[in-house]
Amino acid sequence: MSVVIPVYNEAENVERLCARILPVLRGLGKSFELILVDDGSRDETLELLLDARSKNPEVVVRSFARNFGQHAAVTAGFAAARGEFVVTLDADLQNPPEEIPRLVAEYDRGHDLVGTIRTRRQDSWFRKRASKFVNRMTRRMSGIDLHDFGCMLRGYSREIAQSIAARREVRTFIPALGYLYAKNPVEIDVAHEARHEGKSKYSLLRLFRLHLDLMTGFSLAPLRLLFSVGSFVAAAGILFGVLLLVLRLVEGPEWAAFGVFTLFAVLFMFVGAQFIAFGLLGEYVGRIFQAVRERPAYVLRDLAEDDATRSSRSVTLTPTVRAPRAGATAVGTHEGRGP
Ligand code: UDP
Ligand code: MG
């Protein structure tokens, strides 16, 4: 199996993380690799990761040239992963590594996607409230039936992980993307701990942007809303305009303030027409948006030594990367559900 962990400015946590996770993985009695993806850290994280790699043959390190975000880092980890089952978790030990064997057990039972729900979540009151709201809204808008989109302790079959890696969307949300490919997903309750050291890497603004990725990436509902609200405003405007014109004809020019109301009537019709045009444009933009998601999600920094050993192995070990299974259709199906 492969374990993928995105790491960004987590110097205080790296050693503790390795010390806790490696015994758990060794205890499983399966061959494994621990892929640590440095997301352009500016502290000593990379040095510590390379140090861990020199001490443990199972550790693989990837490093981004700059900060590309947690989900890009996980995607890079998926691209490097060679395991049959790929587990992701956070580097700050909020996801206890001791839960990994339970995910493996679900995979062995035949589930190709093992999702998790954090019980007794150890985050701020605000984060918990916001998550609850976002989870409910995303579930309704995208039609994706997940209960905890934010928990990164998850397991994916190799097939799903590779499909995600092959898509290379610039801004995406891995747990939701994984669900689109899953044949037999399951969700289990897992424990959650407070961050071991340091502070959350998500400011309020970054959190908002991340949730915007989730919402816009998996649903066209906001655009569709523009179209329906626009049509309603247009219809109301045109009706009101017609009413003003009729009253002008019945009541005479004096009632209509000598042309002012007539002018308003014409204006309302035009505003209405513009709203319809916006809505239509929105539909087209939505379609273009769906079609252009195949851009590179990250740039890898060159780690000469590691690359040399891996490329010689990859001749036999790297499987063919499968094209995403009817990706567009799968996305379309979910997006079609709307609110
Ligand atoms: N992370 C990352 N890149 C980023 C932000 C975060 O790789 O730009 C990693 C971070 O090191 C951690 C995980 O993503 O392993 C979750 O981040 P964090 O704990 O700050 O998020 P929170 O738990 O507050 O949602
Ligand atoms: Mg955290």
Q: Which of 50, 44, 298 is nearest to 171 (CA)?
A: 298
Work out the pLDDT band at 66, boundaries 50, 70, 90: very high
Q: What is the pLDDT of residues 301-336, one digit of tens each?
A: 667 665 555 554 444 433 333 333 333 333 333 333
**Percentage of the chain lying above the pLDDT 70 cut:** 86
Confidence of residue 179 (pLDDT cuts 50, 70, 90): confident
Question: What pLDDT score was predicted for residue 35?
Answer: 98
CA–CA distance, 194 with 114 (Å, rounded to integer): 22
Angstrom distance (rounded) from CA 47 to CA 60? 13
Cβ of residue 90 lying under 6 Å from some atom of ligand 1 = yes
pLDDT of residue 166: 87
Among the residue ranges 17-26, 59-68, 156-165, 288-297, the one predicted with the least confidence is: 288-297
DSSP letter at 321?
A: P
The verdict on residue 154 lying in a domain is yes
Give the model's confidence band at 218: pLDDT under 50 very low, under 70 low, under 90 confident, else very high.
confident
**Inter-CA distances, 6 with 73, 74, 117, 201, 277, Å:** 5, 6, 20, 12, 43
Is the same domain home to 274 and 184? no
Q: In sequence order, which ranges of 119-259 are alpha helices (DSSP H)?
A: 125-142, 158-167, 174-181, 204-218, 221-251
Same domain, 178 and 29: yes
95-118 confidence digits (pLDDT tens): 999 999 999 999 999 999 999 999
Q: Please state whether beta strands 154-157 and 85-88 pair in parallel, antiparallel, or not at all (unpaired).
A: antiparallel
Is there a single domain that holds both residue 263 and residue 133?
Answer: no
- 79 & 193 share domain: yes
What is the arithmetic mean of pLDDT over 7-25? Answer: 97
Query: What is the residue with the minimal CA distance to atom 16 of ligand 1?
Result: 90
Same domain, 145 and 55: yes
Q: Tell me, in angstroms, the distance from the centre of ligand 2 to residue 305's CA.
A: 31
pLDDT band at 152 (very low <50, low <70, confident <90, very high): very high
Going from the Cα of 38 to the center of ligand 2, the distance in angstroms, rounded, reads 15
Q: How far is CA 140 from CA 87, 134, 144, 147, 230, in A?
A: 27, 10, 8, 11, 22
Structure tokens, 9: 């400015």
Do residues 168 and 239 share a domain?
Answer: no
Ligand 1 geometric centre to CA of 301 (Å): 20
Nearest ligand, CA of residue 200? 1
Is residue 89 assigned to a domain? yes
Nearest ligand for residue 7 CA:
1
Q: Are residues 236 and 183 in the same domain?
A: no
Give pLDDT, residue 168. 64
- Confidence at residue 255, expressed as pLDDT on a 0 to 100 scale: 83
Between 44-48, 159-163, 305-309, the lowest mean confidence (pLDDT) is in 305-309
Q: Assess whether 166 and 235 both reside in one domain.
A: no
Same domain, 229 and 199: no
Distance, CA 257 to ligand 1 centroid (Å)?
63
Name the residue range of residue 18's domain.
Answer: 2-206+306-314
For residues 255, 261, 266, 269, the Cα torsion angle rounded to the nearest 10 degrees is: -100
Specify if 110 maps to a domain: yes
- Residue 301 falls inside a structural domain: no
Which atom of ligand 1 is found nearest the CA of 89? 15
* Angstrom distance (rounded) from CA 179 to CA 115: 9
Choose the weakest-confidence range: 41-45, 153-157, 187-191, 244-248. 244-248
Residue 95 within any structural domain of the chain: yes
Q: Please give the pLDDT value at position 302.
A: 64
* Angle in degrees, CA 134, 129, 176, rounded to 5: 30
Q: Is residue 56 domain-shared with residue 152, that is, in the same domain?
A: yes
* Ligand lying nearest the CA atom of residue 94: 2
Q: Which ligand sits closest to the CA of 152?
A: 1
What is the distance in A from the centroid of ligand 1 to the CA of 312?
Answer: 32
339 inside domain: no
Could you give the CA distance from residue 50 to residue 142 in angstroms, rounded to a whole number?
Answer: 40
Q: Give me the mean pLDDT over the 27-49 stretch.
A: 96
User: How many residues does this entry show for the chain?
Assistant: 339
Q: What is the CATH number of the domain that holds 192?
A: 3.90.550.10
Atom of ligand 1 nearest to the CA of 9: 11
CA of 7, closest atom in ligand 1: 11
pLDDT band at 265 (very low <50, low <70, confident <90, very high): confident
In the structure, ligand 2 is a single-atom ion and the residues with CB under 5 Å from it are 90, 92, 94
- In the prediction, which pLDDT does 138 show? 86
Number of domains in the chain: 2
Is residue 167 situated within a structural domain?
yes
Model pLDDT, residue 330: 34
Q: How far apart (Å, rounded) are the C-alpha atoms in residues 172 and 212?
A: 10
Same domain, 265 and 129: no
More confident residue, 300 or 313: 300
What is the amino acid identity at position 153?
L
What's 54-75 look like in SS3? HHCCCEEEEEECCCCCHHHHHH
What single string gives the DSSP state of each residue in 277-299? HHHHHHHHHHHHHHHT--S----
Ranges 36-45, 166-175, 199-208, most confident: 36-45
Q: How far is the CA of 18 from the centre of ligand 2 (A)?
A: 16
Q: Are residues 241 and 201 in the same domain?
A: no
Q: Using CB atoms within 10 Å of the CB of residue 40, give its burial: 0 to 12 exposed, 13 to 18 middle, 19+ buried.
A: buried
Residue 309 pLDDT: 53
Specify whether the backbone of 66 is left (phi greater than 0), alpha (psi in -120 to 50) or beta.
beta
157 burial via Cβ count (<10 Å: 0-12, 13-18, 19+): buried
Which two tokens mark 156?
Answer: 């994916």
For residue 90, the model assigns a pLDDT of 96
Residue 157 lies in a domain: yes
